[in-house]
Amino acid sequence: MRRQHDVKTVRRSNVPSRLAALAVAAATALAIAPAAEAQDRIDDPAQHVNPFVGTKPGGPDFGHGGGAGNTFPGAVAPFGMMQFSPDTATYQHGGYSYDDNRIRGFSLTHLSGAGCGDFGNVPFMPVLGDSPVNDYPFSHDNESASPGSYDVTFDNGLRTELSSTQRSGIARFTYPQGQQAALSVDAAKAFNDASGSVQIGPNTISGHSDSGGFCGSDNTYRVYFHATFDHDFTAHEVNGGQAFVKFDTARSPQVVARVGISFVSADNARANAETEQGGRGFDEVRDGSRAAWNGVLGRIDVGGGSDEDRRRLYTGLYHSLLHPNVFSDVNGEYAGFDGQVHTAAEGHAQYANYSGWDVYRSQLPLVALIAPDIASDIAQSAVNQSAQGGYFDRWTVANGGTGVMVGDPLPIMVAGAHAFGATDFDTAAALREMREGATNTDERPGHSEYDSLGHVPPGVQDVWGSAATTLEYNSADFAVSQFAARLGETEVHDHFLAQAQKFKNLFNPANSYLQPRNADGSWPSFDPVQTEEYTEGNGAQYTWMVPFNHRALFDLMGGDEQVVSRLDEFFTELNGGPDKPYAYLGNEPSLNTPWAYAYAGRPDKTQDVVRRALTSLFKSTPDGEVGNDDLGQMSSWSVWASIGMYPQVPGRSELVLASPIFSSVTIDRGNGTSITVNAPEASEGTKYVHDLKVNGADSTKPWVGEDFVAAGGTLDFTLGDQPDPAWGSAPQDAPPSYDVGS
């Protein structure tokens, strides 16, 4: 499934990417043009971010990666290649378990919120004494974290401060006086099996680390590092891939290490650190990283709301902007999916780490909403991955695919980015890769059955969940159809739009569910709570997963009245897990469903469920997530819910409306346009829409179109604390659904 193919190098250049200086200063490529003036403008949104959110279980473990967000609290720049973060002795995906009080090192690479482990390469561990240690205890009272920085003092008095730039980190270790200051660096350690080697100079340690095995797959990667210390070593030794060095701190208790990483070479790792940090000290690097974060966080500015609302919003936005990660070095070089070194085009960056099955739903649309230039590079990078590797893989780590999860999500990511205005990439190549991938067994296991039968039946090799896979392919086909239409490829649009409607082949009129179907067209026995033939969910949850054509689905179900009754029952619980016939909003397949009410004439119920889910499932405390954050997907949902809108349809940019929790929201799109939302009465309990004006004109539509998103504009809400079932209830006001001939 994960074979690679040789292709020619693409987009060659030898200049730094547009993000090379992101964490150097606020005046970078991500620096924000002044947004429209808003009341109570938040000049330092980073103050509202709690990086510890998600590091402690907030919900039950339903068997899909645990009940925590699996985030990490360490230092990282927006979309940063390097994540300099503490790892606790008790392992949790992401590397950090809030309930533990022991740290075993500060490693250089992390995935935020994944349901499986990978990365955690090359932990640095400051030591008091003459030999390495397993871990040191600490107290959360002596620990702090904020965007771009992390600080902890162990119980023995040894302090570690971390900060980061795009491709490098800086550490400041303060050793207690009168004790031997030392440090271990282990290139042979990661969260999965690893090996590595180190080389030591008078004040440098460099080398590489090899690891992989994400979710039990056979992916591998090599990451290089180079560390330069401001003290010469007084002694050193190497044991396998571990280096142990000592310092003389009699004159100064502080030792500063500058660490660069690269997936190309140790020389590039050194150049990354030298270029991005220059001669700046620790405090300057830290302040620059915070400024970079404020630049991108500030693209969503809010007024009103409670302290908790602001912490929830900006922490969610922070977690939404950690991935995908810049993968090319300051000279543009990156390791390709074909095993060759390529060079990104001038002014652009190659990205890596695509949690496709998760993030296509709302994380990548959020990135494209506020940073279409970055989303363009993310889209081009996905196209490069497919061209070099032979197909769009579903879940990629570094420069390789893992084959994890189901469906065909990367084409949805590319099409969705394009719909939101991220158009600066090779669109013709993208469409070519999408079309070829639709009949590639590596990309789409079961595609031959899907094409010939109109659905994927149970028992097809390499298919995890035939019903789930069919529905995911439907969404991918729809997104490709919309992308093709934007490029003027009418025949391609028509073909993929027709393919997308195959969800109808899974609709069983005897029970009104989308369920597995045998190859001969017969229906196997079925229970709505079965997880067999579904992926991390059940039949009751996946039945709603037709976000591009709710109208046809609802008509099959018997009409809006029947649908609303079923949705009411479905939301008896908001996070019931995979074994109940209720919503499972701690995982991805249910995320579109709260917004489905708007298509059935009851947007007031969308307003209610979205608000209840936002305030009960997302908190600004370490236990503030009830499931894996999945590289920002779950956090992005909370951001959209906070501002009262959602990108329901894959591959398009219409936004279905709920209501904002803030009295004002200004979205600077980073391309000269902005969206302003005014809702003077908004509060946690005041969530129901009684009136809406779009650019000053009365509207009863619980959605805004792609033209509004592209041009920007103003939404003025009048909200109340009681539902108004009449507003937005007319059939002609429902958000659009897309069928053949519609």
Q: Is the Cβ–Cβ distance between 460 and 449 less than 8 Å?
A: yes
SS3 content of the chain, % helix, strand, coil (to 5): 30, 20, 50
Q: What angle do CA 625, 628, 630 make, to 5 degrees?
A: 120
Per-residue pLDDT at 742: 79
pLDDT at 600 over 90: yes
Per-residue pLDDT at 41: 75
Note the pTM of the prediction, 2 decimals: 0.95
Give the pLDDT mean for 208-220: 97
pLDDT at 185 over 50: yes
* DSSP state string for 592-656: TGGGGGGGGT-HHHHHHHHHHHHHHH--SSTT--SS--TTTHHHHHHHHHHHTEE--STT---EE
Tokens of 740: 């053949």
Q: Is the Cβ–Cβ distance between 194 and 207 less than 8 Å?
A: no
Helix or strand run (H / E) with residue 237: strand 235-239
pLDDT at 593 over 50: yes
Q: Is the Cβ–Cβ distance between 450 and 473 less than 8 Å?
A: yes
Give the pLDDT mean for 329-357: 98
Centroid of chain to Cα 494 = 31
Q: Each residue of 698-725: pLDDT tens digit? A: 999 999 999 999 999 999 999 999 999 9
Q: Each residue of 394-449: pLDDT tens digit? A: 999 999 999 999 999 999 999 999 999 999 999 999 999 999 999 999 999 999 99
Give the pLDDT mean for 166-176: 98
Q: Is the Cβ–Cβ distance between 359 and 408 less than 8 Å?
A: no
Q: Each residue of 507-544: pLDDT tens digit? A: 999 999 999 999 999 999 999 999 999 999 999 999 99
* Tokens 């620096």, located at residue: 31
Per-residue pLDDT at 28: 34
CA dihedral 280, 284, 288, 289 (to 10 degrees): 100
Percentage of the residues of the chain whose pLDDT score is greater than 70: 95
pLDDT at 197 over 60: yes
DSSP secondary structure code for residue 666 in this structure: E
pLDDT at 70 over 60: yes
Q: Is the Cβ–Cβ distance between 121 and 211 less than 8 Å?
A: yes
Q: Is the Cβ–Cβ distance between 83 and 71 less than 8 Å?
A: no
Q: Each residue of 84-98: pLDDT tens digit? A: 999 999 999 999 999
With H, G, I as helix, E, B as strand and everything else as coil, classify residue 443: coil
pLDDT at 4 over 90: no
Length of the chain equals 742
Q: Each residue of 101-132: pLDDT tens digit? A: 999 999 999 999 999 999 999 999 999 999 99
Per-residue pLDDT at 32: 32
With H, G, I as helix, E, B as strand and everything else as coil, classify residue 94: coil
Q: Each residue of 368-405: pLDDT tens digit? A: 999 999 999 999 999 999 999 999 999 999 999 999 99
Give the pLDDT mean for 144-171: 98
Instruction: Determine the longest span between alpha carbons in the chain, in angstroms.
Output: 81
Tokens of 49: 């971010």
Per-residue pLDDT at 741: 87
Helix or strand run (H / E) with residue 334: strand 333-335
Tokens of 501: 């409607």
What is the distance between the alpha carbons of residues 652 and 646, in angstroms, rounded to a whole number? 11
With H, G, I as helix, E, B as strand and everything else as coil, classify residue 714: strand
With H, G, I as helix, E, B as strand and everything else as coil, classify residue 151: strand
What is the distance between the alpha carbons of residues 172 and 596, in angstroms, rounded to a whole number? 50
Per-residue pLDDT at 40: 61
Q: Is the Cβ–Cβ distance between 739 and 551 less than 8 Å?
A: yes
Distances (CA, A) of 713 to 40, 346, 372, 533, 674: 20, 33, 17, 44, 7
